[in-house]
Structure 1
């Protein structure tokens, strides 16, 4: 018996086909219509239904490119299951390079949304009903906020065995156990019964090969771990720079500036640091040192502030403590040397 077609946005996608769908969103003040673009790859054979989305924040462009490349490697003729790809959720913010919506609301604090709320709430509701409600697993692609950079990492509920399995299958340098945030897509999707991986990597409004390559390979590895891909369509290891051991972390925190001035950092993304290590310094405009910045915990650097000017209390360096059940990985930073070298090259 042929597999049933997949219904979304008022259309049906037949088994073994890939189809572009537009989810009507709103009308611009100029009178033009705006829709959320979706690509559905509906495999011939039954299997899991997975969504991959990017640009919930309009300035986070890395995930858009990740999805473009993933779609180039997934065929409806050989896929087992269904992939629902949404490269740009915050269409209005994406068009202007803005993190937020025109009303300055954060879409990722507006889920699950409603049909009668703000624009952000309506977009969130549309995404929940047309995408999340039809899937069992989602991969939500993000980058760091403006003037920050993130080491490629997966954030997820690592206490759930199946979510943990998918997070480790992704193969990012770090898998971070992250609590649910009110109004986030991950929280709303979890309440609806779907598991979610959040991929964080790179900088806003900028492509970099490490973040994109790790993201592409990670998504394909997850699909493969779910049994959705034939072996020849598994992750392209050359593009990803090869799979690396994933460090597991259950806690992280930002080291904050203890003075205002011009920031100079002495560490890179992916560096393993000990508590008390010097991470950089803050100087005034005449070059006089105001404060030194030291690590307040041992761990791996997963985020850095790229802004040259900081004020007292600003987040400077994000450190993830590595799980104590991985003592060998903490002691041997050669596991991440090649990855750090590629990050520095970009």
Structure 2
């Protein structure tokens, strides 16, 4: 049986049936320390799709790096069909500085597709497009909330793309939110090259979250199973379907002060429900925050000190016949029973 040709990336060649971590040169720091983007390549013996899994495009969104670490330890990858490109830290500059941005304060996810002679963000985006996206068929980009917020595990997809929606359903996150593509994002640039992207949002910036990590790893394994990259015995199909939403909105603070929120991510709310109360530091005036529309809380602030206009709660609109609580409980129960997570893989 003929062997697959080696996988070529940068100046490296990875032979079929092997795995290797390679470093793609990006730049030099101001003290002349070289900076690179590290990619772990698993090139299967048998042909199949090429999938990339990327994390920390925003340097403070560290949960994705943990998800990639756990993914690379799973035994299901030992008999991989196709090729997996795992990039746990895309924005190493922000990651080392605990910052969302690059040193020039640019947002990498607003700098695609980039150019080889532009800003540092533009150059890094260009390298990612040329070395990773152009070699892939599908991508999963891992994110978390930022700025002291937390997100319910969710998948965001481009509207009107049945193939992408099928991948999102296979992932099995509690919520699938169809959202418009942001200009100059990785998702937009990959879309122009015909590469489907799932965006996974979960947890909080600069924090690990066990549920977010478990949902992320299980979801990626299920997508690989759907793509026939791994054995059908790996990654059990979700026992409950994800909640579907096509729109969401933020409830913003009507005043500044001290916030006491009474609702959490994953809670279903009805019109008129009390979300929380804002008080002045003396307790002389209190402002109630009521929901104007029903839906599912998919994100919230963790800061108790807020200013007028701050985003407090992110709510997804869902169908009235959706039983959000049953869906989330069912998926959580399946995670607890999932054999993928041995004790030594849990923080």
Question: Following TM superposition, by how much is the alpha carbon of 1:338 offset from its aligned partner in structure 2, in angstroms?
Answer: 6.5
**Distance change (3 Å), C-alpha of 1:148 and 1:77:** closer
Which residue of structure 1 aligns with residue 234 of structure 2? 233
Alpha-carbon distance in 2 for matches of 1:41, 1:296: 49
Is 1:62 paired with 2:63? Answer: yes
Structure 1 residue runs of 4 or more that deviate by more than 3 Å after TM superposition: 74-77, 242-245, 337-342
Which residue of structure 1 aligns with residue 328 of structure 2? 336
Does structure 2 conserve the Cα–Cα contact (< 8 Å) formed by 1:18 and 1:76?
Answer: no
Question: Following TM superposition, by how much is the alpha carbon of 1:88 offset from its aligned partner in structure 2, in angstroms?
Answer: 0.3
Structure 1 unaligned regions, length at least 5:
none
**Distance change (3 Å), C-alpha of 1:39 and 1:317:** same
Give the root-mean-square deviation of aligned CA atoms.
1.8
User: Deviation per CA, 1:236-256, whole angstroms, max 9, x where unpaired?
Assistant: x9xxxx754310000001001
User: Deviation per CA, 1:68-107, whole angstroms, max 9, x where unpaired?
Assistant: 1111115665111111000000011111111100000000
Question: Following TM superposition, by how much is the alpha carbon of 1:336 offset from its aligned partner in structure 2, in angstroms?
Answer: 2.5
**Distance change (3 Å), C-alpha of 1:76 and 1:304:** closer
Which residue of structure 2 aligns with residue 272 of structure 1? 268
Q: What TM-score do you get using the length of structure 2 for normalisation?
A: 0.92
SS of 1:328's equivalent in the other structure is coil
Structure 2 unaligned regions, length at least 5:
335-347
Does structure 2 conserve the Cα–Cα contact (< 8 Å) formed by 1:224 and 1:230?
Answer: yes
User: Deviation per CA, 1:265-306, whole angstroms, max 9, x where unpaired?
Assistant: 111110111122111110010123431111122110000011
Does structure 2 conserve the Cα–Cα contact (< 8 Å) formed by 1:23 and 1:35?
Answer: yes
SS of 1:22's equivalent in the other structure is strand
Alpha-carbon distance in 2 for matches of 1:136, 1:74: 23
Alpha-carbon distance in 2 for matches of 1:167, 1:75: 20
Question: Following TM superposition, by how much is the alpha carbon of 1:10 offset from its aligned partner in structure 2, in angstroms?
Answer: 0.8
Which residue of structure 2 aligns with residue 262 of structure 1? 258
Which residue of structure 2 aligns with residue 206 of structure 1? 207
Which residue of structure 1 aligns with residue 4 of structure 2? 3
Alpha-carbon distance in 2 for matches of 1:335, 1:180: 27
Question: Following TM superposition, by how much is the alpha carbon of 1:233 offset from its aligned partner in structure 2, in angstroms?
Answer: 3.4
Which residue of structure 1 aligns with residue 307 of structure 2? 311
Alignment map for 1:291-310 (pairs within 5 Å) = 291-310=287-306
Alpha-carbon distance in 1 for matches of 2:222, 2:285: 47
Is 1:91 paired with 2:84? Answer: no
**Distance change (3 Å), C-alpha of 1:152 and 1:76:** closer
Alignment map for 1:1-346 (pairs within 5 Å) = 1-73=2-74, 77-234=78-235, 244-322=240-318, 324=319, 327-330=320-323, 333-337=325-329
